[in-house]
Amino acid sequence: MSSVFPGFLAGALAVQVGAEFAVTEKIYGWALGGFFLAAMFGSLLLGRLVQTIGPRRQITLSLTATIGAQLSVAWLVSGFLGLVVALAVCGLANAATQTAINLALTQARIERLGLAIALKQSGMPTASLLGGLMVPGLALTVGWRWAFMVGVAMAAMALVAVRAVIVPTAPVSPASRPRPVSTARDLTMAAVAGGFLSFGAGALNAWVVSSGVDAGLGEGQAGLMLSLGAACGIVLRLFSGYRLDGLRIRPFRVAGTTVLIGALGVAALAVRSVPVHVVATMVAFAGGWVWPVFTNFGIVRTNAAAAGSATGTTQMGVYVGVFSAPLVTGWLIEVAGYPVMWLTVALSIVAGATLALAVAHRF
């Protein structure tokens, strides 16, 4: 939660930060995209690195980096370029954290691995929920920079917990580190499916607040809608994790099916009506944000000894989707408006669901 919070917070604060730095949605997309672009480039390498240095060391380094970058945003950054650079550092740290946590969970030999992964994946919508609350709670009162201080505090608490809980492991030479069981083709297919699905998730996080304001909601109300939508995603992720370990259906098959429901909600966001926007936001988040629990469970369970390396590959696709989402959708908003943008996003989710179903038998 603390490592992905800066990226989701940047989306929630798009109205306030964009106004201060005088940038349009298309330009502001680089602040959101920079976070996930850095994560994309670092994912594969950092997924392999954690197999060598161990989860405890890698998470310690990544949380320290995100603390420093968010402090710079809160106190030092005076221009839009500085914000982009700081968020890129946070994105790189997030890639390191996510792959390390996946390996730490398998090394801990937890009996309820599905529930553990669901708890871990719930950190992302929780970060989005908190990001939405930062709009009425801080951005519209004392200023948006204080929201990044909340991120600093969360990362500091996480760092203390990591040092206390995760057991140190001896470094492993690159030549002897475990390799994924899944083939490169299967992992690539999973990565591409994740790219299309995360394009939808990235667009939701980036523009559901701005879209709500455009549809007639107040800024504070739109921020709360983001939080409520994320809350739906959290509840369903936890419920899914509770049932996941005893699930007899292939995880990717469940992911591909449920996300189609989310696509309907995303398509309904094209309607410029406050009541429709409220309901559509709930449906979009509920159906469109559950899939990472199932896909990550399938990948980690199949490649337990090399979970960091395997998810380092598949997460690249996820980061490509989330990186490109704010840039492409920001451009679409400017040239065609929110309705066309949301319909395009819905089509991307359908494409991702189709690919997930096609590769389901491999995980």
Tell me the pLDDT tens digit for each residue of 165-192.
Answer: 888 887 777 767 777 888 999 999 999 9
- Domain region containing 86: 5-166+181-362
Give the CATH number, domain containing residue 345.
1.20.1250.20
Q: DSSP letters along 202-216, please? A: HHHHHHHHHHHHHHT
Confidence of residue 235 (pLDDT cuts 50, 70, 90): confident
Q: Where are the alpha helices (DSSP H) in 80-122?
A: 80-107, 113-121
Calpha distance 125→114 (Å, rounded): 17
pLDDT at residue 25 tops 80 = no
172 lies in a domain? no
Report how far Cα 200 is from the mean position of its chain's Cα atoms.
Answer: 11
Calpha distance 79→195 (Å, rounded): 30
174 lies in a domain? no
The residue whose two tokens read 């405890």 is 56
pLDDT at residue 198 tops 80 = yes
Tell me the pLDDT tens digit for each residue of 122-166.
Answer: 888 788 778 878 888 888 888 899 999 999 999 999 999 999 988
Confidence of residue 23 (pLDDT cuts 50, 70, 90): confident
**What's the domain count of the chain?**
1
The residue whose two tokens read 């395009």 is 344
Confidence of residue 261 (pLDDT cuts 50, 70, 90): very high
Q: To the nearest whole percent, how much of the chain has pLDDT over 90?
A: 41
Mean pLDDT lowest among 42-46, 109-113, 254-258: 109-113
173 lies in a domain? no
List the structure tokens of 283: 């449906």
Confidence of residue 322 (pLDDT cuts 50, 70, 90): confident
pLDDT reported for residue 147: 92
Of 140 and 200, the structure prediction assigns the larger pLDDT to 200
175 lies in a domain? no
pLDDT reported for residue 152: 96
CB count within 10 Å of CB 157 equals 12
CB count within 10 Å of CB 64 equals 14
Pair 244, 293: CB distance under 8 Å: yes
pLDDT at residue 90 tops 90 = yes
pLDDT reported for residue 156: 97
Mean pLDDT lowest among 37-46, 87-96, 190-199, 212-221: 212-221
Buried/exposed code over 113-142 (b: 16+ C-beta within 10 A; e: otherwise): bbbbbbbbbbbbbbbbbbbbbbbbbbbbee
240 lies in a domain? yes
145 lies in a domain? yes
Pair 197, 349: CB distance under 8 Å: yes
Tell me the pLDDT tens digit for each residue of 325-334.
Answer: 877 898 899 8
Return mean pLDDT, the chain: 88
pLDDT reported for residue 64: 96
The set of residues, in sequence order, having a beta carbon less than 8 Å from that of 98 and lying 6+ positions away, is 3, 4, 43, 311, 315
The residue whose two tokens read 């798009």 is 14
pLDDT reported for residue 3: 93
Segment 216-236 mean pLDDT: 81
Confidence of residue 218 (pLDDT cuts 50, 70, 90): confident
Confidence of residue 350 (pLDDT cuts 50, 70, 90): very high
pLDDT reported for residue 288: 84
What value, to the nearest 5°, has the Cα angle with vertex 294 and ends 254 and 201? Answer: 95
State pTM to two decimals. Answer: 0.81
CB count within 10 Å of CB 79 equals 9
What value, to the nearest 5°, has the Cα angle with vertex 148 and ends 142 and 149? Answer: 80
138 lies in a domain? yes
132 lies in a domain? yes
